[in-house]
Amino acid sequence: MNLDDCRRLDAEDPLAALRAQFHLPEGVIYLDGNSLGVLPRAAPARIAEVVAREWGDGLIRSWNTAGWFDLPQRLGDKLARLIGAAPGEVVCTDSTSINLYKVLFAALSQVLQASPARRVVLSERSNFPTDLYIAESLCRERGFTLRLIEADELPAALNDEVAVLMLTHVNYRTGAMHDMKAVTAAAHAVGALTVWDLAHSAGAVPVALNDSQADFAIGCGYKYLNGGPGAPAFAWVHTRHAGQFMQPLSGWWGHAAPFEFTPHYRPAPGVARYLCGTQPIIALAALECGLDTVLAAADFDGERGAMAALRQKSLALTDAFIALVEQRLPGRFQLVTPRDPARRGSQVCLALQDGGPGAYAIVQALIARGVIGDFRAGDSQMPDILRFGFTPLYLGFEDVWGAVEHLVQVMETDEWKRPEFNQKLAVT
Ligand SMILES: *Cc1c(COP(=O)(O)O)cnc(C)c1O
């Protein structure tokens, strides 16, 4: 594969026009949309409008007149199309961490009622830390044990002690993807409920929550959904639980009739009870701009849904990146992400072949050249990782070529060994 091949693939790419939806700074190849998505061009004007007209002129009237009140549900309905859910099943609200607390609490309450002997929450040791920390404290509070395993110990680790299987669909570090339908079926077969974190899935890979018969799900608004830094996250629950589940953060916004101001809590029917307090309207407005950038892909593959066309391009981009790294830097890197397309998300992770230090400095040297990926530290199980996210909405094949070209130069000149690339910054 060479530069001409990449240019030809771009010229043939039906999704290429979607890039115009974004503000991409000159000279940057952005491979970190799995950490913070790019600014949609529509967002600044929309945010300004919400501030000046809806807040400034409309004032409190805008809760009714500008559609503020049901914004979490309206955005949830838009997002539902991207994750295999139905309208009325999703709300956009709070952060991923907070939503995880709510759904895990709800799942545990449900199990405690139905089969109180089950006392284990099962998850992966390599799950994202906030997921493990939230689960740890909830388990401590509610008398459960958090049991951590490696992905390949599933489904053998599922047994009748397990109350809840809590997994992140696409691993944040390796990019490895679980088969949601098969894993959910295995959990249900032993009587456990499932909680899925879609932080690296929503807007990145096709997700089929209802078809998978999943129980609870949450996910992130600022990664592949381009909702902006700290954007509201989302929560979903299967309709079979929707009328029953207990939401521990029982604020007035999740009450059946918040403006009756009654002294006792009565949960709203369905997913609206996931809401806690007054919602961040400006942030939700920005998130809507991000959601619309992903939904725009549906126009290219309406029948199969927005995600089918994006997935096809995402796999082509990641395939091209892997092929170019192996072709141009043979023996220098090992592929940490599964090679099998069915088992990977929309990112590619590399580790140095020799296992030596340098991953952090190589990422810093690339960033200095405008190729923005990130670094994730290894541990006893896993080497240090160079992580590259590929967002098909705004990346093309020439970007892939450019990123690998810079990586080749950084490696061949030993540029990464410079001292300025070897000082750790607060946010990696
Ligand atoms: C990014 C990410 C989060 C982020 O949680 P916040 O509450 O937004 O900080 C949580 N879980 C996973 C798996 C993630 O990838």
List 121's β-bridge partners, or say none: 146, 164
The mean pLDDT value for 123-135 works out to: 97
Q: Is 313 a catalytic residue?
A: no
**In Å, what is the CA distance from 107 to each residue of 34, 172, 181, 270, 310?**
27, 23, 18, 15, 32
Centre of ligand 1 from the C-alpha of residue 117, in Å: 30
pLDDT at 305 over 80: no
- Ligand 1 atom closest to the Cα of residue 98 is 7
Helices (H) and strands (E) in the chain, counts: 13, 13
In this structure, the strands spanning 90-93 and 233-237 are: antiparallel
Tokens of 255: 């009450």
Q: Is 128 a catalytic residue?
A: yes
Distance, in Å, from the CA atom of 377 to the CA atom of 33, rounded to the nearest integer, reads 19
How high is the pLDDT of residue 196? 98
Centre of ligand 1 from the C-alpha of residue 26, in Å: 29
The secondary structure of 394-416 as a DSSP string is T--HHHHHHHHHHHHHHHHTTGG
The mean pLDDT value for 219-225 works out to: 98
Q: Between residues 414 and 382, which one has the greater pLDDT?
A: 414
The mean pLDDT value for 381-387 works out to: 92
pLDDT-derived band of residue 106, with 50, 70 and 90 as boundaries? Answer: very high
pLDDT at 192 over 90: yes
In this structure, the strands spanning 29-30 and 371-372 are: parallel
Whole-structure pTM over 0.85, yes or no?
yes
pLDDT-derived band of residue 143, with 50, 70 and 90 as boundaries? Answer: very high
The residue count for the chain: 428
Question: Of residues 32, 131, 197, 215, which has the active-site annotation?
Answer: 197
Q: Which of 220, 234, 346, 376 is the best mutation target for the ligand 1 pocket, counting ligand atoms within 8 Å of the beta carbon and taking the most?
A: 220
- Could you tell me what percent of the chain has a pLDDT over 70? 100
- Ligand 1 atom closest to the Cα of residue 222 is 8
- Ligand 1 atom closest to the Cα of residue 127 is 13
How high is the pLDDT of residue 306? 78
344 contact partners, CB below 8 Å, separation of at least 6: 170, 175, 176, 177, 318, 337, 338
The mean pLDDT value for 171-182 works out to: 97
Centre of ligand 1 from the C-alpha of residue 317, in Å: 24
Shortest-distance Cα residue to atom 4 of ligand 1 = 96
Distance, in Å, from the CA atom of 29 to the CA atom of 369, rounded to the nearest integer, reads 9
Centre of ligand 1 from the C-alpha of residue 95, in Å: 8
pLDDT at 299 over 90: no
Distance, in Å, from the CA atom of 20 to the CA atom of 16, rounded to the nearest integer, reads 8
Query: For all residues of the chain together, what is the average pLDDT?
Result: 96
Give the CA-trace dihedral at 283, 289, 295, 296, to 10 degrees.
-170
Segments making up each domain of the chain, as ranges: 3-30+306-422, 47-295
CATH superfamily, region 3-30+306-422: Aspartate Aminotransferase, domain 1 (3.90.1150.10)
The mean pLDDT value for 341-361 works out to: 93
Q: What backbone phi and psi angles, to 5 degrees, belong to 11?
A: -65, -30
Nearest Cα neighbor of 101 from 129, 126, 138 is 138
Domains 3-30+306-422 and 47-295 share a fold: no
- Could you tell me what percent of the chain has a pLDDT over 90? 93
Q: What is the CATH number of domain 47-295?
A: 3.40.640.10
The mean pLDDT value for 165-194 works out to: 97
pLDDT-derived band of residue 285, with 50, 70 and 90 as boundaries? Answer: very high
pLDDT at 84 over 80: yes
How high is the pLDDT of residue 396? 98
How high is the pLDDT of residue 210? 97
